[in-house]
Structures are given as structure tokens and as C-alpha cells.
Structure 1
Amino acid sequence: MKDFDNLSLTVIGSGGVKLKLIATDMDGTLVDHMRELPGENAKAILAAQEGGILVVVATGRDYTEAIKPLKEAGIRCPIICVNGAEIRSEEGEIIDSTPLSTKQFREIETILGSLDIYYEIYTTKGAFTKDRKQALQVVIDVIESTGFDASEKEALQIAERRFQQGEITYVESFDNLVEDQNVEILKVLAFTKDEKARLDGKNKLENPFYELSISSSASDNLEISSRNAQKGIALKMFAENKGISMEEVMAIGDNFNDVSMLKAAGISVAMGNAEPEIKDICSYITKTNDENGVAFAINKFLKETVGK
């Protein structure tokens, strides 16, 4: 693991390459534990863009949920949504999508149902849940898992905000969405504190027959998408379309759904709050998401290159 003080050796040292693209995860990375985008991170992204560097957000969120904090921060950039199942231009237009088939969804539904695992579906029409109470509890559990001492009232307010802002919608059944030819299912996001059930579900879903990609963005969840819907695959496609080699890409992330893009990028940066396994595969470690770690990494890069 290299210290950030040595970043210049990779970027502009002998044989180094100049970065042209920065890809950053959102939850646990670009936003803080309150799911808000700090001003310092926004300033750093805007400065990078002004310096001629492309920035893309690569997130497990769908477009509706991802675009809101970016708009509020005054950031316009392409977004790799739903763990790579969808690529959107900075205008919000769909560049590419890799949805789950109806058959794949039904197989996922059967396996998760047999293990009594709660799940939400992410579609081209937004995210949906069949259990409002569980949807609220999931967000509360994620906030608690960060180790921050938010009150029950504060945690509930953050959870309720997903419904209030249209980031997730309650439906009695998923059947109408699944059967709608105009709706694509991009991801299934499953949650359970039952470790045995979660591992059993993961093992069953990883059967090559189902052709799925299984990752996680928190200790209690499973992110399930098509095998080719991965951040790394989407990032490579995006970079190639821009004429950028992966050696010219810096990726920043914190969890297992970031692995494919961190491994693909020429420079990989783990957040200070990242899982230990994520830190082990990255070239550098920055500060935590509550310490503006994305801004620290970007500003360090700008100082070592653009600022020279």
C-alpha cells in the first residue's frame, strides 16, 4: 500500500501517465454517513472538471436516487447507475443498459423467498419495495452500522426521506413491474441480518447457471444483477468510448461492489472507512467519507499534476 505522498510517482513520475478520468462510488465514498454530499467533495469534483478531467459517478443507486445529491451540489456528470447495469450521460440519457431477464428475476425471487430474505428491486422506473416498514429499517440499520451515534428520530427521518423524495416507492406486488414490457429490472437489493440465510442465498445465486453478479455494499446486503452489469465493465466501456485507456483512470470506492472498477483502474483509491479487503487491493488509501476523503484524493492529484 502506497502513501498518498507518493501519488506523484505514479501520475507524473518516470513512465507515469496523466489521468483523464476519475470514477467515484457514492454511498460510503462521495456522500457522508447522513447520505449527504459534502461541499468539499463537490468543490474538488468541479475543480477536476475545470482542469479538463472527466468525472463519472459509479453507484449502486438508480438514476433517480443518484442524481438528486449531485444536482443539489451543482455537479453535472455522467453516472454509472445500479452497479453498472445502466450508463447515463450527463444529460440523463441512457447510453447503455444490462438488465436482468424475467427468468433471472423469477429465479432470484424464488431463492430469496425460500430464505425469507427481504429485497427491493431497482428498475428503469425507479426503486420499489413491497414492505415499507422493512425498507425504513434497512436504512436505519445501515446508519447504525457506520458507528455514528444518530438518534432513533434522526435515523428514521433519513429513512423516511427515501419515500418522500421518490427514491423508493411502495407497491403491493412486483408482478406488474415484472410483466411490463416497458420496464427493465436492473438490480435486486437484498437485506438480512441472518448471516446463514445471507450466505446460503449468495451461494445459491452464484450458481453459474443463473449468470448473475453477486456483490455487497454493506455487511448485511446482497446486490444482485446480470453477470455483465458490473461497475468495472461499465467503466471500461465508458472510458473506451471516450478514447481513454484504463491506465488513465483513477477509481475511488469503499466496498465489494466497487471491486471490479478498482481492479480495472490504473490508480485505485480506497476510502479510510473501506472494508479491509478493499484496502488490500488498492494502490492508495484516502480519508473517510466523513472526512471528505474524495476531496482529499482529488485535490492531492490536482496539486501533483494540474497545479504543477
Structure 2
Amino acid sequence: MDGTLLNSTGHVSFNNIQGIKKSGIPFTLVSARAPMEMAETIEKLNLIDPQIAFNGGLIFQWVQKGLKVLRSDPLDLTDIKAIVQLVKKDFPNVSCSCYDLNNWYDEKVDRGIRYESKMTGQCPRLIDYTKLLVADNSFYKIMLITFDPNEIERLNQKLIDLKLAGISIKQSGNEYLEITSRKAQKSKGIHYIQNLEKLAIEEMAAFGDGHNDLPMLKSVGTPIVMGNALQEIKPHGKFITKTNDNDGVIFGIENYLK
């Protein structure tokens, strides 16, 4: 969604909405976002098919009674505690927040949280992590935000050095590290849709712009990379479409798919 379907203000454009509806192509959002952060776009596009959140950690549908979970791969609580402890001790200026099925949590509001709130229109629930991280809660993502490119490299290496076998660390854009279960991969979400709809790889296309999109782009017959994508991502696209601020998704649908 971010950097792809959504423009730089965090919204889906009128042209993308109208074009996607008119295309008649089944459409699944595959995002690192939480379901609550995807809800507005799902509603605007009238999406009724399975949707993929938390980089594949949750596959769900919106139904009349609310969110219906189709597949769930949360993080291990021990891993979450180790990561939170590391960030608090060695990277106190990094925003560290986490998500369960329906909520976004943080201990403080800082620059990173304000930035994310502006992008998603959501506000975190402030809570002491020692009270939150207990056995009967399931969490799907830890989000770390820093605007210092050197710090994000050091943080990523420190997380790798923890040697937590159950986690997957993905960089999203220049400011985000997003940690989900190792079982949570966008490619697994794609395979779920593929098996559900009995599709051949050649019948599937995907749009992406960042590192966490690579497993997804490699899982479809027509990978399309956004014009605003990171330079190292562009070679992985069969086509390069316009930027997210220039309706690159509907341009790609109309010019490379239809």
C-alpha cells in the first residue's frame, strides 16, 4: 500500500479508485499495515476478497460481523520482549511500537509516532509494555522508526545479532524496520490466494516498491515495480510503472495487464 497504491499523503487517489473498480480485476492488498490501517482503502475499493496484513502474518476478510481471520502467524512473546529490551537500552531515540489484531500500542508519542499517525490516520494506545506483553496477548508486528540512516543500519545489525530464529526483519522505505514472525511472508499470502483461486503464476501480477515486496514480486508472473521504488528493487520488475503520486497502479493495470 504505502509507496505503491497510496500516494505520499497516505491516500488512494480518485483515479486509482475508479480505474481499479472499472478494471474488473480481483484485487488483494498485501501490506505490512494492520487491518485497521487498511480498512479505509478496502472500503473505498469495495474489496470483498481475502486481504493480507502484517507482511503475510495475517490473512483476513471484512465481513458484516467484522474481521474474519483466515490465517494467523503472530510473533513469539519472548522474541518481542528481547527486541523491546534491546531498543530501550541501546536505541532510546528509536520509535518502538507494536500491533495486535485490533490495536496499535506504544509507550510514548515521539517524532516517529507522529509521522506514522499522519500517514495512517491512526493513534496508538499508550501503555506500559511490562503490563501489555503478557501470555494471553498475540502480537503481529513490531514497528521501529528512525530518521537517521546510520542508526537504522546499526539497529538492523543489532537485531540480526540477537539470533532470534522466529522473526523476520524487513526495511520499508528509508525510516522503517518492521519485525514480524518468520512465518509471515508476503509470498505466503500470495500462495494462499493462488491456491484459493486455483491460479497459475502467469495469471497473477503484483505491484511493489520496497525490500519487503521482493518475496511477493518473485511469486507472480508479472511483477510491476513503482517508479518511486528503491533503485535496488527496480531490476526485479518485469515493468516499471509511474510513481505512486502519479497513479502508477492504474497506469500499470491499463498499460501492462489489460
Give 1:217's aligned residue. 172
Mapped contact 2:77–2:135 kept (Cα < 8 A): no
Equivalent AA in structure 1 for residue 31 of structure 2: T
Largest Rg, 1 or 2? 1
Equivalent AA in structure 1 for residue 57 of structure 2: A
SS of the equivalent of 1:132 reads coil
- Within the candidate set 75, 89, 104, 2:79 is matched to 104
Equivalent AA in structure 2 for residue 126 of structure 1: N
Asked if 1:199 is matched to 2:153, the reply is yes
Greater helix fraction, Structure 1 or Structure 2: 1
Structure with greater contact order relative to length (CA < 8 Å, sep ≥ 6) = 1
- Within the candidate set 112, 122, 126, 2:103 is matched to 126
Mapped contact 2:224–2:241 kept (Cα < 8 A): yes
After TM superposition, the structure 1 = structure 2 runs for residues 1-308 of structure 1, keeping only pairs within 5 Å, are 26-48=1-23, 50=24, 53-91=25-63, 92-116=67-91, 117-139=94-116, 159=118, 162=121, 167-179=122-134, 181=136, 183-207=137-161, 208-301=163-256, 303=258
Q: Distance in 2 between matches of 1:119 and 1:171?
A: 12
* TM-score between both structures, scaled by the size of structure 2: 0.89
> Following TM superposition, by how much is the alpha carbon of 1:211 offset from its aligned partner in structure 2, in angstroms?
2.7
Q: Distance in 2 between matches of 1:133 and 1:205?
A: 22
Change (3 A) 1:239 1:288: same
Change (3 A) 1:28 1:160: closer
Unmatched tracts of structure 2, length 5 or more:
none
> Following TM superposition, by how much is the alpha carbon of 1:254 offset from its aligned partner in structure 2, in angstroms?
0.8
Equivalent AA in structure 2 for residue 258 of structure 1: D
Q: Distance in 2 between matches of 1:280 and 1:161?
A: 29
Change (3 A) 1:276 1:161: closer
* TM-score between both structures, scaled by the size of structure 1: 0.75
Mapped contact 1:251–1:265 kept (Cα < 8 A): yes
Mapped contact 1:111–1:201 kept (Cα < 8 A): no
RMSD: 2.1
- Please say which of residues 183-192 and 234-243 is displaced more in the overlay: 234-243
